[in-house]
Every structure is written in structure tokens, then in C-alpha cells.
Amino acid sequence: MKNNHREHWNSRSSFIFAAIGSAVGLGNLWRFPGQAFQNGGGTFLVAYLVAILTAGVPLLTLELAIGRKFQAAAPSAMGRMNKRFEWIGWLGVIASFIVVTYYMVILGWASDFFVHSFSLKWLGDVDYFKNNVLQQTASPGELGSFNPLLCLLVAVLWVIVWFCLRKGIKTVGLIAKITVITPLALLAALLIHGLTLPGAMDGIRYYITPDWNKLWDVNLWAAAYGQVFVSMSILMSVMIVYGSFLGKKSNLIGDALIIGGGDAAISFFSGFVIFTTLGYLSTITGTPIGDMEYQGIMLVFVTYPQAIAAFPGGQVVTILFSLCFFLMLLTLGIDSAFSMVETVTHSLTDKFGLSPKRTLIGVCLAGGVISLFFTSGAGLYWLDIIDHHINNFLLLLIGIAECIAVGWMFGTAPIREHLNLYAKPKFGRWWDVMIRYFCPAIFILIGISFVISNIVTPYMGFDYQYLIIGGWLAVALALAAGIGLQQAKGKPLPAADKGED
């Protein structure tokens, strides 16, 4: 039994652009280079490529197939597979909602820099991001003040998300064609200019040269797989929702390879942009790249303003490149925000039969209120803690549960058969092996190592009390909420037959 009234994409290109737009976001330009920088440059690239092939592509195709086969958002789709699986879908939805609440604040930071690019207010001030945008306190326990401009910008961004999503996924597909192509052109322009800077090649060499000894570090592999999950929007219920809007004759495998390949290519490409700049900063400061203190969000909001401020050509050129860079961040990020909000909205409407328009308003209002917490002086601390535990641990738990549910209880054969219906190329039994054996085994190994390493060494030196509240408690509450939503009474969905297509 299918949902015959479900929306569908206008065209294959609309779906592909929307899916790439979801996959390609701040995770590519902010998180990917940051992970590469913290994990040995070229060494991380090797681990990331392995993670894409062994987990990224298999899980992306799995989730698209689940969505199209069962024609429902993740919780309902998993529930139709087996009523005991619904909580797994809800766990991904909850992860999406948590992530989008702080993701919008990161877009707010980019908006602040974009607004002030006209006056270059941050020019020559290396502490502008910390003191003016974040108004950062000394620790997570000291909440501090709220930046009024940042609060306003975040509110405006939530209104933009609501406005763009109010007409449904057809609008998302159209907007994505603009917001995917535009940042690629801007990224190319920045790379061309970056290659002309002194020291650029030193940065590239650091980026692409592996240190093979570091491949034995389990934290490197945890970072690589976690980055694949975030970057490709898998295990967050997003791709199941997007797959549910596909027609029966869609080439799932071909589309997945385009989406995964496009996402990986843009990640690698953005790394060249960032590391040419790091090479330049290393040259002008005399500090070796490996000894530089930039990490995480600082790569975007500290490194780049410094580099842009030093561009030759005068104030006009500085303003132009600044506007281009921060506009690129906004256009890259907004599609990812769309997909996460859509995931939450459609999951609620599928389960409870709610009005899509009212549900969208409710999700945006709830997300907006929570986002305000991250605009406080302690916001970056809590963002970092939550991001670390959600993306590097909770998503691993979802991956383990999803692979066991499909691989060992429902069966991979019906999903693979559905996946291969109109696919070119087709997947063989190796795909079953990856879902049944390899992915859960590697996820369990990395998950255990993550727990041990984070107990032995507190993340970023934070006090354990903050890591427990913002990390482990957040994971526990997400698990409890997923189970609770499964138990909540909603609109009944028929159980699916294994042979259903």
C-alpha cells in the first residue's frame, strides 16, 4: 500500500541538486578542512576516501532505497519495515533537529561577516570573531550576554527557511539549482586567487601528503567516518525523506553515485581553497602549518578574514572577496538547513497526520528558540561539545542500529532488489556484505574507542561536567525521545511485505 498523494520531485535534476545541496554545506567548507587540519592533512584524505567507499555509498543507497520503497519519512518507513524499527528513524530525525538548531547560528556568524564586509569592520582585528560576534566568555559555565545583531540575523535566517519551504519540495529543488551552482563558481574564484599567494603550494603539500604512521590512530578513523555521515547527510533521516519523493523508475544507484561523488569532490576542492590560505598565513607569520593553532570554526571565521584582509589590490578587492566568501558560506549552508527542517516536518506529518504548513511553522519556531541559546557568550563552547558527540557518536549508534535492523532482521536482499530495479550499474552481494558485516563492525569498533578515548582525555580540555551535560546527556535524551516517539499514538501505517516494490 503506497501513499499515492505524496509529493514528487519535478525532475531528476531537481532531486540531484537538492540532494547535493543537502550533502554539500558548511560540513564541506568548515568541518572537512578543519578535520583534515587536525588529523594530519593528507592522512585524513586517505581515511576519508576509504570511509566514503566502505560506508558512504552503501548507506546512501540504502537510505534512498528505503525512502522510495516505503514512500514515507524515516520513522514511518522504518516502522513499515518492522514496527520495532520506528525509533531508529526518529533518532535520525532528532539528530537532524539538534544539528539544525546550531547550524543556523553558524550561518548567522557568516551573515554577520557578510553585513560587515561592506565596512570591513573586522579588518585588522584577529579577535573580531571572538570579541564582537561571539562575545565569548571564559568557559561553558559562564553564559554571558547575547549578541543582539546575531540574534536578529538568526531569526531572519529561520524566516527565510520557512519562506522557502512553505510550498514544499518542488520549491526546494528549484532553489537548490541556484544555491549549489553559485558557491561552486565563488569557490573556484577563491582558489584561483589563492594559488597566486606566496606559500600556497606549501599549504597544498601539507594537505595532500599523508603521514602513514597516523593511519593507526583510531581517532583519525572516527573523524573520517563521522565527517562522511555529516557531509553526505546520511544517518540523519534526510536521504530517506528525499528518497520517498522519488518515482518508482528512478535510477537510485546512478543518482547516489552522482550525489556522493559530487559531495566528495567539493569537499576535496574546498580543502585546496582553505590550505592555500593556510600556506599563505604560514609564510607571512613564519609559523609552520602543523604548529598553527587554527582549528574547527576558526578556519573559516578567523583564518579567512585575515587572509582576505591581506589580499593585494586595495579596499575594493578586499570587500569584493569578503562578500563572495561569506555569500558562498550562506548559499552552501542554506540547502542543508532546508533538508534537516524538511526531515523533521515530514516525519511529524507522516506519523501524526498534522497539517504540513502548521508543522513547518512549529518546527521553525522551536528551532529558532533553541538557536538563541547558541548566540550567547558560551554558545560556541556548547556548539562544539554537542557537535562532537552527536556527529561522532550518536550517528554511529544510528548506523549500527540501521545496519542490524536491515541486514539481520528485515534482510538486505529485498532492499538490494528494489535498489537494482532501474539502476545502472547494479549492485551485487558485496553490498549485502557491507551492510550486514563491515559497517556495523567498524562502527562498533570506532564507537567503543570513542567512548574510551573521551573518558581518558576530556574533549578539548573541557571540564567533565560540561561534557556530560552537553554530550552524553544529549545522546541519552535523544535515545529516550526516539523510543518515546515510537510509542506515541499516531496515524496507522500498514506493515510492508518484503516483496513490496
Greater confidence (215 vs 479) lies with 479
Which of 217-221, 296-300, 342-346, 407-411 comes out lowest in average pLDDT? 296-300
Quote the pLDDT of residue 187. Answer: 78
Domains annotated for the chain, with CATH where assigned, are 12-487 (1.10.4160)
Could you please report the per-residue DSSP string of 109-150?
HHHHHHHHHTTTTTTT-TTHIIIIII---SSTT----B-HHH
Half-sphere exposure of 177 toward its Cβ, with a 13 Å CA cutoff?
Answer: 11
* 396-444 tens-digit pLDDT: 999 999 999 999 999 999 999 999 988 878 999 999 999 999 999 999 9
Greater confidence (496 vs 397) lies with 397
Q: Give 357's pLDDT tier (boundaries 50, 70, 90).
A: very high
* 217-227 tens-digit pLDDT: 877 888 888 88
Q: Give 7's pLDDT tier (boundaries 50, 70, 90).
A: low
Quote the pLDDT of residue 377. Answer: 96
Contacts of 153 (CB under 8 A, 6+ apart): 108, 111, 112, 115
Half-sphere exposure of 143 toward its Cβ, with a 13 Å CA cutoff?
Answer: 6
Range list of β-strands (E), 446-488: none
Could you tell me the three cell numbers for 54? 566502505
**pTM of the entire structure?**
0.89
Quote the pLDDT of residue 4. Answer: 44
Quote the pLDDT of residue 383. Answer: 94
Mean pLDDT computed over 354-378: 96
Contacts of 114 (CB under 8 A, 6+ apart): 322, 323, 326, 327, 330
| CA-derived radius of gyration, the chain | 22
pLDDT at 139 over 80: yes
Maximum mean pLDDT: which of 4-13, 184-193, 474-483: 474-483
- For the CA atoms of 53, 55, 61, 63, the dihedral, rounded to the nearest 10 degrees, stands at -160
Q: Give 1's pLDDT tier (boundaries 50, 70, 90).
A: very low
Could you please report the per-residue DSSP string of 311-351?
-SS-HHHHHHHHHHHHHHHHHHHHHHHHHHHHHHHHHHHHH
Taking alpha carbons only, the member of 399, 393, 401, 398 closest to residue 474 is 393
Quote the pLDDT of residue 499. Answer: 44
- For the CA atoms of 376, 133, 181, 189, the dihedral, rounded to the nearest 10 degrees, stands at -150
Greater confidence (501 vs 113) lies with 113
Q: Give 121's pLDDT tier (boundaries 50, 70, 90).
A: confident
Q: For the chain, give the mean pLDDT.
A: 87
Half-sphere exposure of 385 toward its Cβ, with a 13 Å CA cutoff?
Answer: 25
Greater confidence (478 vs 335) lies with 478
Quote the pLDDT of residue 395. Answer: 93
Torsional sign, CA 267, 10, 75, 476: positive
Mean pLDDT computed over 305-328: 80
Quote the pLDDT of residue 3. Answer: 45
Backbone angles phi, psi at 376, to 5 degrees: -75, 175
Mean pLDDT computed over 148-177: 84
Q: Give 179's pLDDT tier (boundaries 50, 70, 90).
A: low
pLDDT at 12 over 80: no
